[in-house]
Chains A and B, each alone.
Chain A
C-alpha cells in the first residue's frame, strides 16, 4: 500500500488522533526494542555477547520496583513534566501538527529535564545540567535550519503535508540532512557528543544529568528517552518519505546503525568542540544548502 493513500485515508476519515494514540502506546515498545538492539550491536562491536534483547524493559521494570529517593519536592513534578511534554511532542508530530510548534515543545521537555537536575545539590548533576544546556545551544540552530528547508521546498510545516507533497526532500536538502545527521548524535546521546549523560557505564561526571535520579524517576526518564527516539526516527523518515515507505524505514534504521557505529568508534570530545563544530556544520552544510535553493530558485 502506498504511504500517500494511507495518509489521505487518515485525513479523510479524520483519524489522525488514532495515529497519535498508536504512537503513545507503541513508541515505548519500539523505542525499548531499539535500545535493546543498540546494546547488542554495541556489545558485538566490542567483541562481547551483550545483554538479552528485552534488557531495557527489564531495567525499567526493575527501577519501578525500587524505592525512589526524592531529593526534594520539585524533582518529581519536573521529571513527570519532562515525560508529558515528550509524549506530546511525538503525539502532535504523528498527528500531523506544525513541526515548528513541535520543536518548541521538544525544547520545553528538555528544559524540564534540566530543571530536574538543577534542583538538586549534587555537583555532578548540576554540571550535567549545564552541559545539557550547551548541547541544546549546539543542536537548536541546525534543527531550525532544517525546518526552514522543509518550508522552502514544500511550503508547509506539517508532517502529512510534507509527505503528501511527494518531493524527494533528500535530493533538495542533502546539506541539511548532513547537518541534521551531525546533531542527531547529540540527540541520541551518543559518543562523541554524550557530554551531559552517557548510556555507557563510566563517565567523568558520574551519571551527569541523571546522577540524582533514582528508581522511578530514572525509569520515567528512560521511557521518555524512548519516546524521543521514535520521534527522531520520524524526523529522519521525512527525508526519505517520498520513496517507497518500507525503503524509507530501512534507511532510517540504517541511520541509527550508523549512529551506533560512530558511538563505538569515537571518544568523547570537549564541549567547546561540540558547540563550534555543530554550529559550523549547521551554517555551512545547512545554511549553504538553503542559500543555494534560493539562488538557483529551485522549486
Chain B
C-alpha cells in the first residue's frame, strides 16, 4: 500500500475557458470545502504534483504549456479534466482556434462533467483519480520488478 491516496497534491491549469470552472476549483480551497482535510494541497509546481487538474479547452497557444506541465510531473500521475470544456471543448468546441478537450493532447484519466463543475463533483473527481493513481503506482512497481 502506498500513501498516494492520503496525500494527493494537485496542480491546476486553466485553459481556454470562461473561468467558471476555474473559480469552482479555487472554491474547493475555501473553509466551506477545505480540501486540505483529505491531505490535498494545491501546489503551483508540477514537480511536486500527483494530479493535474485542468479546466477549459485546449487551443493552439496553450497546447505546449499543457504538455510541458504534464511532462514535468513525476510518475505516477493522473489527469483530471474538469468541466465540459475540458472534456470535449464545450461551448468553445466550434471556435476556429480551439482544438477540443484535454484528451486531444495528453491522456486524461477522469472526466468531471458540469458547466460549471460544482466543487462537490470536483472533489469527487479527485477522489476517483486517487484510485487510478494507486493502480498506476502498482503497475510501475510491477514493471520495476521485472
- Which residues of A are in contact with B by a Cβ distance under 8 Å? 39, 43, 46-52, 55, 58-59, 61-62, 65-69, 201-203, 206-207, 210-215, 218
Contact = CB atoms under 8 A, between A and B. Distances in A.
A215 B44 contact: no
Interface string B7-26: 10100000000000000000
B8 to A, nearest CB: 8
Contacts of B29: 201
Given A48-B36, A62-B6, 13 more contacts: A48-B31, A49-B34, A49-B37, A58-B7, A62-B3, A66-B4, A66-B76, A67-B140, A201-B29, A203-B44, A212-B47, A214-B47, A218-B48
Nearest to A68: B74
Contacts of A67: 74-76, 140
Interface string B25-50: 00001010010111101111101101
A113 B6 CA distance: 28
Contacts of A66: 4, 50, 74-76
B79 to A, nearest CB: 16
Contacts, number: 83
A55 B6 CA distance: 8
Q: Which 10 pairs from chain A and chain B are nearest by CB?
A: A58-B6, A61-B3, A62-B3, A214-B47, A207-B45, A48-B34, A67-B75, A65-B2, A58-B7, A62-B7
Interface residues of B, number: 27
A202 B47 CA distance: 14
Interface of B: 2-4, 6-7, 9, 29, 31, 34, 36-39, 41-45, 47-48, 50, 72, 74-76, 137, 140
Interface of A is mostly: loop
A110 B133 CA distance: 34
A214 B2 CA distance: 17
Contacts of A215: 74
A111 to B, nearest CB: 23
B47 A46 contact: no
